[in-house]
Amino acid sequence: MDLEKHGRHEPPPPAGQGCVYAVVRIPVRILAVVVVLPVRVVWDLLALGARAMHRRALRPAGDAVARACAWLHRSLLAPLGRALAWLARGTGLVLKWAAQAVFYWPWAGLWRYVLAPAGDALWRWVLIPLGQGLALLGRGAAAALGWLAKALFVWPWAALWRYVLVPGCAALYRHLLRPAGQGLERVLLALVRYLLKPAGAGVVWTVAAVWRYLLKPAGAGVVWTVAAVWRYLLKPAGAGVVWTVTAVWRYVLTPAGRALVWLVPRALAAVFVWPWAAVWRYVLVPAATGAHRYLLAPLGHGAARLARGLYRHVLTPLGHFAAATWRLAGRVSRALGRGLVWLWRGCVARPAAWAYRQVATPAGHLLREVWRTSRSAARLVWRTSRTATAEAWHTARVAVRDARAGVRQALFGTPPREPARSPARTLGSKTAAGNAPAAPIPASPLHKRQG
């Protein structure tokens, strides 16, 4: 019924298991009432106490601490920080002005009003004229040195070249070298035409005859001999060697290599692979298959069926019963809590609220009005007494002043006149300007007495 009310449908018990459910349900409910209900009640009481503690103590305490921190920040820390910031700004401004007054303004004034005008005047009236004079002197010295250098190193050699070497070389070329060259040219042309050209033709004919009738037949004989040796001796011998090597490779080495390639893997397999393959195929695989088929699989199926039966017929009903028991204990605990809350409201909260509203509130209002009236009366009495005391003190001071004036007049005659008082308090008197005599005394008493 509980499960259906909460929207959960408990599956109906299988046929033949109603007695099992009936046997299990009654002890479970007894256990729920005896054990689970006190635990649930204690849990609900702890949760209620924690919520009440949070609502009535921790949250108001946190709000109070937050308000205190806000008030502390607003009333103490913020003004103190502003005062410190103002003090720091003032100190920084004072230090800035002091630093400028010590390290900047003197040097700036020295530079602006002493060094810069002095440097400008020195540059304008001393260095520029001095530089212009030195430049003029340098240009004159450079011109003099240039003229002297030309007179020593340029003009003598130019005159020597222009008036001595050039005419001498022209006359030498015209009257000596050109006729000698023309005669030498005629001699060389005659030598080439009548001596070297016939000798060269004879040498060329001799070389051509040697090539045609001696070197060319000898070279042809050497080429024919080398070709005959290659064709009839070296080529047949090389062909025989190649055929022999090919026959040995084809009919001896290749069959032997193929036989080794076929034999070595099989020998290695027969030694290292086939025994372990036979053990795996004919021993291990059948043994593992038989163990899985006839031992592990039946044990696994049996364990799975046992686990499913245990979960379906034992753990699932126990879980449903435990959930229903916890919900039932929660309802009982909730009803008990509601009853206790109703008793608390009827016996404590409502009478306390009525007493606060009907008794404490009017009494508090009455006390507040009495306190306000008494405070106003005390403030009025204090102001009246302070005014009366001030008037009495003023009257006593005026009487003492008059008595002193009468005694001074009786002893010394006419009393000296005091200078006129300022509107504010004087340095030697505690009386304000309103309490002084109305008529000022213009003359100095000492001067008047001496006069």
Check whether 414 has a pLDDT greater than 80: no
89 vs 32, residue with greater confidence: 89
The average pLDDT across 408-430 equals 58
Alpha-carbon separation of residue 156 from 146, 161, 204 (angstroms): 15, 9, 61
The average pLDDT across 366-394 equals 89
The average pLDDT across 196-221 equals 84
Residues contacting residue 324 through CB under 8 Å, at least 6 positions apart? 2, 3
The average pLDDT across 126-150 equals 88
Report the pLDDT value the prediction gives residue 269, as an integer from 0 to 100: 80
d(CA 141, CA 255): 110
Q: How many degrees, rounded to 5, is the angle at CA 130 between CA 128 and CA 136?
A: 100
Residue for token pair 């005896």 = 34
Check whether 450 has a pLDDT greater than 80: no
- Binning pLDDT at 50, 70 and 90, where does residue 443 land? very low
Report the pLDDT value the prediction gives residue 90, as an integer from 0 to 100: 87
d(CA 216, CA 223): 11
Task: Tell me the DSSP string of 263-319.
Answer: HHHHHHHHHHTHHHHHHIIIIIHHHHHHHIIIIIHHHHHHHHHHHHHHIIIIIHHHH
Report the pLDDT value the prediction gives residue 22, as an integer from 0 to 100: 55
pTM above 0.75, yes or no: no
Residues 9-64 pLDDT 10s: 445 555 445 555 556 666 766 776 777 778 888 888 888 889 889 988 899 998 99
The average pLDDT across 116-145 equals 89
Report the pLDDT value the prediction gives residue 400, as an integer from 0 to 100: 82
The average pLDDT across 309-331 equals 81
Check whether 373 has a pLDDT greater than 50: yes
d(CA 447, CA 245): 161
Q: At what angle do helices 18-31 and 316-344 cross, to 10 degrees?
A: 40
Exposed (0-12), middle (13-18) or buried (19+): which is 415, by Cβ within 10 Å? middle
The average pLDDT across 300-326 equals 84
Report the pLDDT value the prediction gives residue 281, as an integer from 0 to 100: 86
Check whether 350 has a pLDDT greater than 60: yes
Report the pLDDT value the prediction gives residue 437, as an integer from 0 to 100: 47
Mean pLDDT of the chain: 80
Residues contacting residue 336 through CB under 8 Å, at least 6 positions apart? 41
The average pLDDT across 367-380 equals 90
d(CA 217, CA 223): 10
25 vs 142, residue with greater confidence: 142
79 vs 445, residue with greater confidence: 79
Report the pLDDT value the prediction gives residue 401, as an integer from 0 to 100: 84
The average pLDDT across 361-374 equals 90
Contact 329, 36 (CB under 8 A): yes
158 vs 269, residue with greater confidence: 158
